[in-house]
Amino acid sequence: MPCPASASGNQSEFPAEMIVHPRGLKNLDNPGVRIFQKLSVCLDCGYSWFTVPEAELLMLAAPPPPTKRRVMAAD
């Protein structure tokens, strides 16, 4: 498959480990979703792409679990 950005056929796949985090301050305590996948990289322009496996995609689509907030006691 040619590169979507440059139409080059000069690509390579690399093993990758990623953690995808929801953005925003409310998600600071969310550990994110670990994704182990192959990363395709165009060696001419640097454009990169990957596909999220179905199990991890479902975890990303689900609302994050509620987190316990620490309450600091006033002195």
Could you tell me which of 11, 29, 37 has the C-alpha nearest to residue 67? 29
Residues of the domain holding 17 = 11-57
In total, how many domains does the chain have? 1
Question: For each of the chain's 75 residues, which pLDDT tens digit applies?
Answer: 899 999 999 999 999 998 888 888 877 788 888 989 899 999 999 999 998 889 888 888 887 666 565 556 665
Asked if the structure places residue 74 within a domain, the reply is no
Asked if the structure places residue 33 within a domain, the reply is yes
- Whether pTM > 0.75 for this model: the answer is no
Asked if the structure places residue 67 within a domain, the reply is no
